[in-house]
Amino acid sequence: MDDQLLTMFSHSLFDLESYSPLLDELLFPRQPAAGENAGKAVAVKGSKVPLSTSILDLKIECEVLLARWCSTVSQFADVGQPPGDRAIHVRAAWLQQQLFVIDEMPWGEMCAEEVIASSRLVRDVVVDPREWDDPKPIEIGSCREIVSWARHLGAQVSRSTVQRWIDRGEIPSEIAPDGRVLISLANVLDHARAGLLESGPPRAVS
């Protein structure tokens, strides 16, 4: 799985954690207790789902999808049992914890692509497009995570380059309890900018 797909996968799992509980509000809209609209269901605007696909169908399909991938991850990796709670946000959070395990699996890309597609559909249903925000960059992460964000923000860096900076002590790093080497996005961006300034503008070739 390439860095861009891994980042999209992570964002999609986070979206499922955040937005899936709103599906229940669409299934069981609250009714005003008083006033001229008392007893009337709340109107939901902006849904993009085709009329042939009900909100309940969407919720069930997403639950089944996450249940299948949680079971697959548990079967092929030593990560323990997946959560018994079938709630979308609970299983999405568990898969988020297994992100780098999934990345190493031969079926990792398929898992990511299916989850991304499901997440987009859920997000389209529950969130008005005018309210969408770009995901906020992480501040601290692994080399792969930080390089992915740095490139997303326009820095011309690679994992090998950043790893070389870490090995040389050019940017600070620390060891997480799980053994991962963590670095700061700000340090990588600053170092990349400094290197660009030192190299100067490209020379014209005559």
> Taking residues 126-155, what's their average pLDDT?
72
30 or 128: which leads in pLDDT: 128
Residue numbers of the domain that contains 177: 140-199
Whether 47 is covered by a domain: the verdict is: yes
Q: Looking at the predicted structure, is the pLDDT value of residue 15 above 50?
A: yes
Note whether 89 and 153 are same-domain residues: no
Domain boundary among the residues 81, 107, 131 is at 131
* Per-residue pLDDT, 179: 82
Note whether 178 and 92 are same-domain residues: no
Task: Give how many domains the chain has, as a whole number.
Answer: 2
> Could you read off the pLDDT of 53-108 as tens digits, one per residue?
478 888 999 999 999 999 999 999 988 899 999 999 999 999 998 988 999 999 99
Percentage of the residues of the chain whose pLDDT score is greater than 90:
35
Note whether 119 and 146 are same-domain residues: no
Note whether 145 and 124 are same-domain residues: no
CATH of the domain at 189: 1.10.1660
Whether 45 is covered by a domain: the verdict is: yes
- Of 2-6, 151-155, 186-190, which one has max mean pLDDT? 186-190
Comparing C-alpha atoms, which of 161, 158, 179 is closest to residue 170?
A: 161
Question: What is the rounded CA–CA span in Å between residue 40 and residue 138?
Answer: 42
Domain boundary among the residues 73, 101, 131 is at 131
Domain boundary among the residues 107, 131, 155 is at 131
| Residue 175, beta-bridge partner list | 181
Note whether 162 and 109 are same-domain residues: no
Note whether 117 and 38 are same-domain residues: yes
Note whether 35 and 116 are same-domain residues: yes
Whether 204 is covered by a domain: the verdict is: no
Note whether 176 and 117 are same-domain residues: no
Whether 205 is covered by a domain: the verdict is: no
Q: Which residues contact 201 (CB under 8 A, 6 or more apart)?
A: none
What secondary structure does DSSP assign to the chain, as a single string?
A: --HHHHHHHHHHHHHHHHHTHHHHHHHS----SSSTTTTPPPP-----S-TTS-HHHHHHHHHHHHHHHHHHHHHHSSS-PPPS---HHHHHHHHHHTHHHHHTSTTHHHHHHHHHHHHHHHHHHHS-GGG--PPPPPSEEEHHHHHHHHHHTT----HHHHHHHHHHTSS--EE-TTS-EEEEHHHHHHHHHHHHHHH-SPPPP-
Whether 206 is covered by a domain: the verdict is: no
> Could you read off the pLDDT of 115-127 as tens digits, one per residue?
999 998 888 888 7
Note whether 28 and 88 are same-domain residues: yes
Comparing C-alpha atoms, which of 179, 170, 183 is closest to residue 142?
A: 183
Note whether 123 and 148 are same-domain residues: no
